Structure 1
Amino acid sequence: MLGKLNNDEIDQVLTTGIVGRIGCTDKGKVYIVPVNYAFNNTYLIAHSQEGMKIEMMRKNPHICFQVDEMINLTNWRSVVVWGDYEEVTDAKEKYYAMKFLVSRLSQLRVSETAGVAEMHREMAMQDASTNIIRPVIYRIRIHEKTGRFEKE
């Protein structure tokens, strides 16, 4: 059976997921890339090093985000979110957003590319003035979301 997810089911998929795909555009070029994230019932929180994705979202903050929950090809849930990229720059906000993201990801076994160890070090060195490359912490302000499912 195919169907639509209600708002609570959409939020459940967003809450339990940790990897989604973010889509951004610049000058007609579409870029879709997987990101680790955490959902706090208001925003999607994520981090990244400076690069194409961050540059594109700074120029055009309107994004699309997609996450799947796959059991098999006949049992799945999928959510699509539209929203706006917002870089977290306030030191206190950045600390708490990073703490939330780290707490969510540190409960799971994740790839070294997720940068959890680096985020732990970053949090420990908040007051240190070093030349380490600091990740960009950002959130997605959600404007619209939809979800579908198939259940055998």
Structure 2
Amino acid sequence: MLKIEEMAHGEMLALLLRAAYGHLACARDNRPYVVPMNYTFDLQFIYFFTTEGTKTEMIEANNAVCFQVEEFTDPLHWRSVMVTGQAERLERPADVEHAMQLITGHNPTLAPALNETKIGAWTRLNNVVIYRLRPDAIYGRKTA
């Protein structure tokens, strides 16, 4: 039988620092939406960025989000951390610059994905939006 146990707080923070991507969950009008996201974590906030589109519309309607990361070796060896909180859109130039430095420092090759299905509808095609998520709660599980 597979034994699953809670992760220590330090283990959860280490996984958030180490992982390269996670899954962002948001909801609007009782409809959930989950997407993979590149991100960075600075022990206080999770920072992620995107272009204007479905995610930004959903977060503007309801900024309560969940972010999940995992390390998966095989079905018997994995770790998963889930963070809940409020996503805050960064507007101040100093905040945006700080977040971009952290994001590109964590992974210099990152660039927001451009969803071709949205191009025709976008009037703000190249508008990058940066959010930070201050964790309200962090949960972690792992196989023993």
TM-score (norm 1): 0.82
Other-structure match for 1:16: 18
Other-structure match for 1:115: 111
State how 1:118-133 maps to structure 2 within 5 Å: 133=126
CA contact (8 A) 1:24 1:62 kept: yes
Q: C-alpha distance in 2, partners of 1:103/1:134?
A: 21
Deviations along 1:89-143, whole A, 9 cap, x unmatched? 000110111011001012xxx5xxx417xxxxxxxxxxxxxx9823101111110
Give, in angstroms, the shift of residue 71 of structure 1. 1.4
Instruction: Indicate the SS of the match to 1:41.
Output: coil
Q: C-alpha distance in 2, partners of 1:2/1:95?
A: 40
What is the alpha-carbon root mean square deviation over aligned residues? 1.6
Gap runs ≥5 in structure 1: 117-130
Other-structure match for 1:88: 90
CA contact (8 A) 1:58 1:85 kept: no
Gap runs ≥5 in structure 2: 113-123
How many residues are matched? 131
Deviations along 1:8-61, whole A, 9 cap, x unmatched? 010011000111000000001100000000010011001000011111011100
Q: Choose from 68, 75, 94 the match for 2:77.
A: 75
Q: C-alpha distance in 1, partners of 2:53/2:126?
A: 12
CA contact (8 A) 2:51 2:125 kept: no
Other-structure match for 1:144: 137
Give, in angstroms, the shift of residue 72 of structure 1. 1.4
Q: C-alpha distance in 2, partners of 1:12/1:148?
A: 13
* Structure 1 segments (4+ residues) deviating >2 Å: none
Q: Choose from 28, 34, 37 the match for 2:39.
A: 37
Q: Choose from 29, 47, 50 the match for 2:49.
A: 47
